[in-house]
Amino acid sequence: ADVLKIIEAAKAEGMTSEQEEGIRQIAADAQVRLVVELSNLLKLSATDFDITEDQFNDLKAIQTFQDTEAYISTAVYDFSTVTEVTGTGVTGEVEETTASI
């Protein structure tokens, strides 16, 4: 899905200032997390980003996706398996459908 098109459509339908701020925060968190993860993966330094070591350390210290992580840590998940007999096959065997939810 084209995320930008979805956001544009939502804005066209009318967004609250809280929703717009939420999108802005998600975008900022994503950019920070991307830079930090890429710097770890590719062994990049402050020099590679043309910033000071202090700026780089400040960037790496930013806590991202705090609201999301707080929600996930307190969310209640209910997983169950449902089996349903959907009929019998041509040869008379029972056909079952199993879905994990």
Residue indicated by tokens 């590679």:
48
Which value, in Å, is the radius of gyration of the alpha carbons in the chain? Answer: 23
Measured between alpha carbons, how far is 75 from 78 in angstroms, rounded to an integer?
10
pLDDT of amino acid 73: 80
* Beta-carbon contacts of residue 28 (< 8 Å; ≥ 6 apart): none
Q: Output the tens digit of pLDDT for each of the chain's 101 residues.
A: 688 888 889 889 999 999 999 999 999 999 999 999 999 999 999 999 999 999 999 999 999 998 877 778 887 777 776 666 666 666 666 565 655 55
User: Token pair for residue 14?
Assistant: 């009318």
